[in-house]
């Protein structure tokens, strides 16, 4: 059976990962009128039978890092239901399993971190640079083919897992953007999915969702769903609220898009970013420390270039600490709790910056 035929039968993941078969493209339509187009290996476009004023354009991506398997399983299950006609989408979808080679190797990357390469077009000197260009082109085409130019109708959820334990088992990261990419609808979805926390970034980055937010004003978020595990070892029952919310997002034309203050989740803002300036950079806490661990003001956090960095006034929590990054790259985020203000765009209360 060809790769295309396997995708049509509902085996999107296994077909994508079978690199012994050549990549294919193709289109087909189900009896319910839903149209599918296999754009390339691991990239499937889905068009609902009817396009309405409320129809969104939703990118759902996973596998940016190959060892983050729970999101891949979630997207595969959703795709199977769509392809077999068990559920019917109400929105345009672009479903992505980004890095089949890394997934097969059960490794985060082959040459470099793919989720740092979306700030610009790449030279394609590494496997990840090639993938970054292909994904950017696919997302551009998908959004540009939309019948609605409103950024509020463009969405991008990039599903990940963390490589370490976390004080919050699930959390969302909202990329910084000069575009209106933090609408209430996105944050209401995060509430409905019962994620434990949300972090608002304060600077541009090279992540996949940052690309979508800044180039298209997409309502974008990187979603961290538990911890890295091998295929078959993920307890998806823990993620049931998110899985249910995701299916509702895809199959319901209009959801409740109002952020509930009464049901508010823990919110953080980025206070600082620690960059690795020299090979002598050292983090001054255990390697296996959990994300969102809090440090009181004055606690030594890292040393680099003969300079010791300490927790700021009021204390700070650490996120994504990793001393094994390239020079000039982020070695750790330092975050503080904040209070959201609901409006057309979600913002952080000024008092959060005191």
Residues with active-site annotation: 224
Closest to 225 (Cα-Cα) out of 290, 149, 146, 158: 158
DSSP 228-293: -B-TT---GGGGHHHHHHHHHHHH-S-------STT--EEEEEEEEEE--STT-EESS-TTPPBT-
Residue 225 to residue 192: CA distance in whole angstroms: 15
Q: Return the H-helix or E-strand segment holding 141.
A: helix 127-144
Residue 321 to residue 273: CA distance in whole angstroms: 10
Give all strands (DSSP E) within the chain, no chain letters: 26-29, 35-40, 43-47, 57-62, 92-97, 154-162, 170-174, 197-200, 219-227, 266-275, 282-283, 294-295, 300-304, 307-310, 316-319, 330-338, 340-341, 347-348
């Amino acid at each position: 059976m060809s790769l295309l035929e396997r995708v049509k039968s509902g085996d999107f993941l296994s077909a994508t990962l079978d690199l012994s078969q050549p990549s294919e493209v193709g289109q087909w339509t189900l009896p319910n009128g839903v149209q599918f187009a296999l754009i390339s290996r691991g990239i499937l476009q889905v068009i609902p039978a009817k396009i309405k004023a409320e129809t969104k354009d939703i990118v759902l991506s996973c596998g940016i890092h190959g060892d983050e398997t729970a999101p891949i399983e979630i997207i595969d299950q959703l795709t199977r239901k769509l392809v077999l006609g068990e559920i019917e989408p109400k929105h345009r979808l672009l479903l992505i399993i980004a890095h089949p080679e890394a997934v097969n190797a059960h490794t985060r990357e082959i040459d470099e971190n793919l989720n740092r390469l979306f700030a610009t077009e790449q030279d394609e000197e590494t496997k990840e640079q090639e993938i970054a260009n292909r994904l950017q082109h696919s997302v551009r085409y998908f959004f540009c083919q939309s019948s609605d130019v409103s950024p509020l109708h463009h969405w991008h959820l990039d599903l990940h897992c963390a490589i370490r334990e976390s004080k919050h088992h699930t959390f969302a990261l909202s990329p910084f953007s000069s575009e209106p990419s933090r609408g209430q609808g996105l944050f209401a979805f995060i509430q409905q999915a019962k994620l434990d926390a949300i972090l608002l970034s304060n600077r541009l980055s090279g992540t996949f969702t940052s690309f979508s937010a800044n180039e298209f004003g997409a309502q974008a978020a990187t979603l961290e769903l538990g911890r890295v595990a091998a295929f078959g070892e993920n307890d998806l029952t823990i993620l049931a609220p998110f899985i249910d919310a995701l299916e509702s997002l895809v199959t319901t034309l209009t959801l409740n898009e109002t952020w509930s203050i009464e049901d508010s989740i823990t919110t953080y803002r980025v206070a600082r970013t620690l960059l690795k300036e020299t090979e002598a950079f050292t983090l001054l806490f255990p390697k296996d420390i959990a994300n969102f661990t809090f440090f009181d003001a004055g606690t030594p956090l890292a040393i680099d270039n003969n300079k010791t960095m300490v927790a700021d006034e009021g204390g700070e929590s650490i996120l994504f600490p990793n001393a094994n990054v390239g020079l000039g790259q982020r070695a750790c985020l330092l975050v503080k709790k904040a209070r959201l203000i609901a409006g057309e765009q979600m913002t952080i209360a000024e008092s959060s910056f005191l």
